[in-house]
A and B are shown apart, each in its own frame.
Chain A
């Protein structure tokens, strides 16, 4: 049969961020796929270098709109390792509340996006209307809907008082039945099942070999949730179960994210119940002159890793490994053998975020250089 090469991107309705995916189809079956990245490269690592520790924070929290709090949390955690005192329980719990609300809104955005990919516009709108309530809560806590800018090295900018805590609990209680009803429809609808079950299968062995992270790995039976295996902030004080599945397909990824929303709602409630009324450290410039630190947190899409080197109070080297950077490697493999109709669904099931992932392009003196791995590591 005649083979057609379809260019998915850099601009395509099914991909909301720029990536070039070349898909070779024979009839309706995908025979091969390859991708080219780098369209959204902004040089975030380079931007942070040479900045003071507080100036770097403003850059890192703008790496991604959906993981803004996760990035800034990872940043402050890294530098708090060099501080003599820990910020305290109230700060840790506030960060947990914002981080989990961010996870809920990110997953709701993804759910809507997945429904849009399979042409179910109504459920897409309903999920996004619930997301609005969560964004309103984030705005009430921090003053911002997307870039919350609440983290500070050693403290937080905004606190959650009793009345706000009650409002958050009430809102979460109000959205939970809605989410359960939508989830029931998403999981049980025959057409949705036909579009997701046994699509984009990644076995546990493959997921382990490719070092996948986040809900993608958990849908393949690998528990690498940083909140559980290496608790940070106040996660060690919260009771939660990491959702796992061994089905390994797109439906398993949907179920995992639906369960994670419920887990996050429970975590927010627990964190609010534990929230003390104590004072938090003042917003002062951190006294850090030298050091080499790393930190990792569980962003909505999986493990987020930051590495920093500081000299004379300035950041000399920064390195971010975002979850999509770890997960994107599976794309060509995961598409082969499936139908063309499955391509947008399978890509969406990975929940990719390209703007915070694009890396590696090294330009010096206006000339592009190709480097081997040793040179790249040295750079």
Chain B
């Protein structure tokens, strides 16, 4: 059995709140169930002080605050987007005079086109 604590939150970043509560309560926090209201799922071993801590964290929850995993994913996406924008135009294979490097450039140009097609769902 688990202890379930209901909290009323108008909006919730479920991954963000989950990460905050896991960091604070460790193994005594099993997770969240959020529908019309949010329920904190705690183990039977949780103390009254930990319940208060959990409730306090939930009520102070800022849905705009990202979890470490969400922040890492957002940073990675931004980095990829910046690198994508830095690549202007297709690879010009005619610039490579060495036959072996030219062959490699042809392969890279082909892979670039394949990736563009894959991202476009073609």
A and B held together in a complex: no
Residues of B within 8 A of A (CB): none
Residues of A within 8 A of B (CB): none
